[in-house]
Structures are given as C-alpha cells and as structure tokens.
Structure 1
C-alpha cells in the first residue's frame, strides 16, 4: 500500500460512517414514533401469560380458544403500531418510508409468532406451532386491512371482531352446523392448505397496503 492509499483509507471509512448515520437515525425515529419498544413489551407479556395459562387444565374447547386469544392480542399490538403521529404529511418525507413500514410489520409479526410458539414449547398447545404461525399472520393481516381503512388507532377492532367470529366458528364444531370455510382459518386444522392460503392472502394484502399507503391516520 502506498502512502497516498494509506491516507485515503481512513477517509473512506469515515465517509461510510457518515453516510450510514442518517439511515440509522431515521430507523430509530421511525421505531420510536411507532412505539415499537412498547409493542415488543406487550408481545412478550402475551407470550408469558400464554405460558402461564398452559399450565392449567383446559377442556378441548377452551384449549382451542386459549392460543387464539393471545394471537389476537399480539395482532392488535402489531397493527396499532402502524399508527403514525404525523398522518398524511409523513408520506412525502422520503422513499425509505415504505421499506421501514414493511420491515417493522414483518419484524413484529415474526417476533410475535416466534414468542407464542416458544411459549408453547413442551406444553400442550392446541394446534401446534404451525397453527400459531398461520393464525398470528392471518389475524394480523385482518388488522392491517383495518389500519389502511380506519387508521392505526382503530386497527385493533379488526382482530377483535375476527376473534368473536372465530370463537363462534369453534363453537359450531361441537354444536353444529359447523362452519368450515377456510376464511375462518382458526376453526380449521393447522395442516389445512386452504386455510393457510386464505390467511396468507389476507396478510400479504394488508401488508402491501400498509407498506405502500401506510395507516390512514390524521395528523396528531
């Protein structure tokens, strides 16, 4: 290495660091504005409560409802975190915003599904890990669709309403006539391909809308 190259190497490193700093700051501010630390704490609380609840004896009907309640709780937390305190004006702030929205929702959904699946490790978790992953993603998708229409602050109403529908669908499995549509995927077995496709489609659609448009929130 020549003396000139030696002098240029540190300058290049400093330049890269300076170029990286604005992106890291933008990411930090985005996560803070979406209250992501609080969302992670709420997801962790849901996983802990599920673990504690699984130590209790449950009949078949209660065992199926139990994970669904906590999956819905995590979904509600995730979709509320899409709310922006800046509303529409934020959409004109730069090209990185859709990527930040996409990354935030995917990260929170992955953490939620992983935390709930881990909470059921070694316990009798109705439906197993596959059902937890499907239901968490699907119910989150319902909430994302509501965020795109109603705004992030009201997005929790979608998962809450879907929980009521799902609980009724589970009820019909014992008391008939049974609801078997794959669009109510919590009432379908974890290996049901149709239910997986429906849940995945809802999640993908909601994720695309929130990524491109963001939650429909007014300023403040």
Structure 2
C-alpha cells in the first residue's frame, strides 16, 4: 500500500490563493498489476496472437499428417522446410498491428512486449513441431526443426522491420527456395556448403546452428528496438 497525498484548491482558495491542507489517501498496487495484465492482453489481441497460435498448431499437425506419406531421402529433407517456413511466416506477420503501436503511451514497456510475443510464439512453434512429430520419421529430428524454424523466423523478423509485417512473408519464402536449392545441390554437384544455407546441413552442424541463431538474435533485437515498418510509419 502506498500513501499518496493530493492538494486541492478550495473555492475560497481560488479567490484568495489559499490551498486546502493535503489529505492522505491510500491506493493499492492491485490497480497497477491489473493494468499490466490488461496491457499484455491488448497487445496480444492487436497482433492476432491467439489466431497465430492456432495456425502454428495447424502447421505442426499438417507436418505430422504429411510424414505418413512415402518420401524418398530428398523429399523427406524438403518436406519439413515447408511447414517450418509456414510457422516463421505466421510469427513474422504478428509483428504488425492494424492500429499501429498504441502501447507507445506506456513508455518503456513496448519493446519488451514485442520481444516477449516473438519469443513465446517461436517457442510454441518449435514445441508444437517437436510434440506433433514425436515418434515420426522426421528428417533432422527435433534439433533440425529447432534450427530451421528459429533461423527462418529471424529472417521474417528482419523483413518485418525492413518492409513491414504485411510483407514479412517474402523473406522466409525466398529463403525456402534457397534452402531447397541447397538441398538439391547435395545430389547434383557442385554442392553449396555455406553454413548460411543451414537447411542443407545436418542438424548436428554447429556452425550452421550458430548462423541460424545469429539471424534470429538480430531479428529479435531490431524488432525490439525499432518495431515493424508499419508501426514506424503510423508513429
């Protein structure tokens, strides 16, 4: 409980310059906590996060169903990339709000709201992909899904900052094409061996994992500091 004092000018004080003595009143910190919860809820709703969660779960379920098909080695490596890219596109799309960034009025909290929602959705995507494909013949396993999803999401976040959330899908989609071609070169030399094309590397490749992590980290930092392009335009 905090003690708050207020100074009220009485009708007589308005004419004479006098001030009514300060009257103490008690306020609870519950209002601050309630306001914080409401702020988070409004931020998630304005970014359509509940819908994004449903779409992420749908992507994971779709991958599980697709794994029941008969795939050769090349197709088995390509298949997860489509669903991992779909998750990245969904996450990147939530960086923009049709209302801009009204949370700017809260001061310092907006960057942390951006960071928290992006991290939470990425964790949900990776967790859903791992859970839905448990026991299935997933090429690269859970580690491969983690690396590919995180890296593609980082590309999507960078595109959201540069082009806006409505165009953030272009980056992960273009990288999907590049990743598929890199896999193609493993069977049709000369092979592309750069770690920046991490889908063409085994899930145990540490250098490729570092590249994906660096892209994701850069996307998070820029999103946290600058936000999507729509937000800057409306501001």
Shift in alpha-carbon separation, 1:118–1:88, aligned structure 2, 3 A: closer
Superposition TM-score, scaled by structure 2 size: 0.85
Alpha-carbon contact 1:51-1:119 (below 8 Å) kept: yes
Cα deviation digits, residues 83-104 of structure 1 (max 9, x gap): 1223366545421000100000
* Alignment RMSD: 1.8
**Partner residue, 2:54:** 41
Matched, 1:132 2:132: no
**Partner residue, 2:88:** 75
Q: Partner of 1:58: helix, strand, or coil?
A: coil
Distance in 2, matches of 1:195 and 1:177, equals 19
Alpha-carbon contact 2:153-2:172 (below 8 Å) kept: yes
Q: Alpha-carbon deviation of 1:38?
A: 0.7
Cα deviation digits, residues 43-78 of structure 1 (max 9, x gap): 010011111111111101110011111000000000
Distance in 2, matches of 1:27 and 1:143, equals 23
- Write out aligned runs for 1:185-200 (5 A): 185-200=198-213
Larger gyration radius, structure 1 or structure 2:
2
- Write out aligned runs for 1:1-220 (5 A): 15-87=28-100, 91=104, 93-217=106-230, 218-219=233-234
**Partner residue, 2:21:** none
Distance in 2, matches of 1:27 and 1:106, equals 14
**Partner residue, 1:3:** none
Q: Partner of 1:164: helix, strand, or coil?
A: helix
Alignment: residue pair count: 209
Structure 1 residue runs of 5 or longer lacking an equivalent are 1-11
Q: Alpha-carbon deviation of 1:120?
A: 1.4
Q: Alpha-carbon deviation of 1:16?
A: 3.1
Higher RCO (CA-CA < 8 Å; seq separation 6+): 1
Alpha-carbon contact 2:88-2:156 (below 8 Å) kept: yes
81-90 or 38-47: bigger deviation: 81-90
Alpha-carbon contact 2:43-2:103 (below 8 Å) kept: no
Query: Which structure has more strand as a fraction of its residues?
Result: 2
Q: Partner of 1:98: helix, strand, or coil?
A: helix
Distance in 1, matches of 2:144 and 2:176, equals 15
